[in-house]
Amino acid sequence: MNTMNPGISAEADARHKSDAVIPVAEEKPEDTVIEEGKTVGKAFADNPKYKLRHVDVSYGDDRAIKNISLDIGRNEVISFIGPSGCGKSTFLRCLNRMNDSIESCRITGQLLLDDEDIYASKKDVVELRARVGMVFQKPNPFPKSIYDNVAYGPKIHGLANRKAELDDIVENSLRKAGLWNEVKDRLDANATGMSGGQQQRLCIARAIAVSPEVILMDEPCSALDPIATARIEELISEMSKSYTIVIVTHSMQQAARVSHRTAYFHLGHLVEVNETNKVFTSPQHDLTESYITGRFG
Ligand SMILES: Nc1ncnc2c1ncn2[C@@H]1O[C@H](COP(=O)(O)OP(=O)(O)OP(=O)(O)O)[C@@H](O)[C@H]1O
Ligand SMILES: [Mg+2]
């Protein structure tokens, strides 16, 4: 995995992470014509976990995702980047049907997970969400003990028959999330008393506890300081041995550090996707280049 990437200026990266007003670019991105359904780079994978074809998502009459086709490889870490409102979270939420709860949201196209249609009418959504876990921007532990946060999913899904089995799942999940040594002596303490970084790792442990195959992360580090962020990034690299990971990030440095491929979204289109290094050092599309060089955000 590459580390600091010369293609991204620290200034551009900082600008994308902050809410600062972005100076107007000399050439306006909206002047660039995007051919619908056309993505440059490498959108397909040899061993796909997800096969997503012609995915369209609308909220009422507004199209938020426009004819996107993409594979997500098994054990791949893929980053979704792009300006605010371009559809990253919307597309991510399609992957475990989190958009189902939004009344106005309509999804068409084909979304296959291990060749199974995740939008099939007979699909068990609870089982799908156990296979495809999610970690949100703001750590959201339950106001329960550290132990109970991690044990919650396995209990609901009947993954442990005895207390000793549940204890093992809790310990293993906390170990995988890099949190065990910090909390093993206070498993009964309320999770809300932990630091933000610890809470986010607890949320990762909670996701891992039900043995998912995929973990979706929507800006998982945006509420964390640089040290807590580094811990999560290390964890993502470690976890990619066992899981497929999709991460939305506003930090291009982070995308460069953690992901195998990076996908650049713009106004609901998937403009470019390629090996991360290629996206940041030799982007093929003008819009990608403008974004990574900080000409618009
Ligand atoms: N629940 C919703 N109801 C209606 N429109 C929505 C809803 N969620 C998102 N949208 C719209 O869909 C488009 C894509 O939004 P989305 O949140 O997916 O973008 P994003 O790339 O994740 O942005 P950000 O970087 O700010 O998180 C936007 O125009 C947004 O206003
Ligand atoms: Mg978002």
Listed by start position, the domains of the chain span 10-138+219-292
16 lines ligand 1 (CB under 6 A): no
Q: Which residues of the chain have pLDDT under 50?
A: 1-4, 6, 19-25
Which residues, other chains included, contact 15 with Cβ-Cβ below 8 Å and sequence gap of 6+? 22, 294, 297
297 lines ligand 1 (CB under 6 A): no
Q: How confident is the model at residue 197, as a pLDDT?
A: 94
Nearest ligand 1 atom, CA 219: 27
Q: Beta partners for 202?
A: none
Between CA 44 and CA 174 the distance in angstroms is 34
* Prediction pTM value: 0.90
Helix (H, G, I), strand (E, B) or coil at 266: strand
What stretches of the chain show up as alpha helix (H) in DSSP?
10-17, 88-94, 125-131, 146-156, 163-176, 180-183, 196-208, 226-239, 252-258, 276-281, 286-292
Helix (H, G, I), strand (E, B) or coil at 217: strand
Distance 239 CA to ligand 2 centre (A): 23
Between CA 240 and CA 216 the distance in angstroms is 12
100 lines ligand 1 (CB under 6 A): no
Q: What is the DSSP string of 63-121?
A: EEEEEEEEEEETT-EEEEE-STTSSHHHHHHHTTTGGGG-TTEEEEEEEEETTEETT-T
**Nearest to residue 255, comparing CAs of 283, 295, 296?**
283
List, for residues 138-168, the tens digit of each pLDDT value: 999 999 999 999 999 999 999 999 999 999 9
Q: Does domain 10-138+219-292 have CATH number 2.60.410.10?
A: no
Residue with the smallest CA separation from ligand 1 atom 5 is 59
Q: How confident is the model at residue 8, as a pLDDT?
A: 65
**CB of 262 within 8 A of CB of 250?**
no
Helix (H, G, I), strand (E, B) or coil at 290: helix
Q: How confident is the model at residue 32, as a pLDDT?
A: 75
CA 181 to chain centre: 26
Q: How confident is the model at residue 28, as a pLDDT?
A: 60
251 lines ligand 1 (CB under 6 A): no
The DSSP output letter for 24 is P
Q: Which CB contacts under 8 angstroms, 24+ apart, belong to 18-25?
A: 22/296, 22/297, 25/290, 25/295, 25/296
- Please provide the size of the chain in residues: 297
87 lines ligand 1 (CB under 6 A): yes
Q: How confident is the model at residue 295, as a pLDDT?
A: 80
Distance 249 CA to ligand 2 centre (A): 8
Residue with the smallest CA separation from ligand 1 atom 27 is 84
99 lines ligand 1 (CB under 6 A): no
Nearest ligand 1 atom, CA 250: 25
Tell which one of 88, 93, 271 to mutate to probe ligand 1, the residue whose CB is within 8 A of the most ligand atoms.
Answer: 88
**Nearest to residue 270, comparing CAs of 50, 64, 69?**
69
